[in-house]
Amino acid sequence: MIVRIFSDGQYRIPEDAQPRLHELDVQTVNAIDADDEAAFTSSYGALVELIHSAGERLADDDLEPSDLMLPPSDITLEEAREEFTGEGLIPD
């Protein structure tokens, strides 16, 4: 599976790391729902860390599309909430 972290790059994630990735993703969303900044920072930080450590970075000129996309690692809780409720972070 290929994951893109915005403002970072694309990573090929081995299958055995995927359950943990989903787990952290759910934790992150729960933290957003609970409006818990500290929990958000730590769970999203762990998610990014997992991708960096378990994933293999693709070259910049690789044209493979990603299966999953994540917001930038320094995203704030407020921006993340915008991602769910507003127009989303991605400009047209």
Partner 1 sequence: MAGLTGRMSTIVKAKVSKVLDRAEDPAETLDYSYSKQLELLQNVKKGIADVVTSKKRLQLQEASMQQQVVKLDTQARQALAANREDLARVALERKQSVQTELQSLDSQIGELEAQQQKLIDSEAAMRAKLEAFRTKKEVIKAQYSAAEAQVRISEAATGVGEQMADVGLAMQRALDKTENMKARASAVGELEDSGTFEDLTQLGPGKDDIDRQLEAIGAGGAVDDELAKLKGEMGAGAPPPAALDAPAPAPDAAEPAQGAEPAEDAEPAQDAEPAQDAP
Closest to partner 1 by CB, 16 vs 91, is 91
Q: Residue 48, interface with partner 1 (CB under 8 A)?
A: no
Q: In angstroms, what is the minimal distance from the CB of 33 to partner 1? A: 11
Residue 9 to residue 31: CA distance in whole angstroms: 24
Backbone angles phi, psi at 34, to 5 degrees: -85, -5
Answer for which of 17, 29, 46, 77 binds partner 1 (CB under 8 A) is 29
Answer for which of 4, 11, 50, 55 binds partner 1 (CB under 8 A) is 4
Pairing of strands 2-5, 9-12: antiparallel
> Which DSSP category does 87 fall into?
S
Closest to partner 1 by CB, 16 vs 57, is 57
Q: How many residues does the chain have?
A: 92
Q: Residue 60, interface with partner 1 (CB under 8 A)?
A: yes
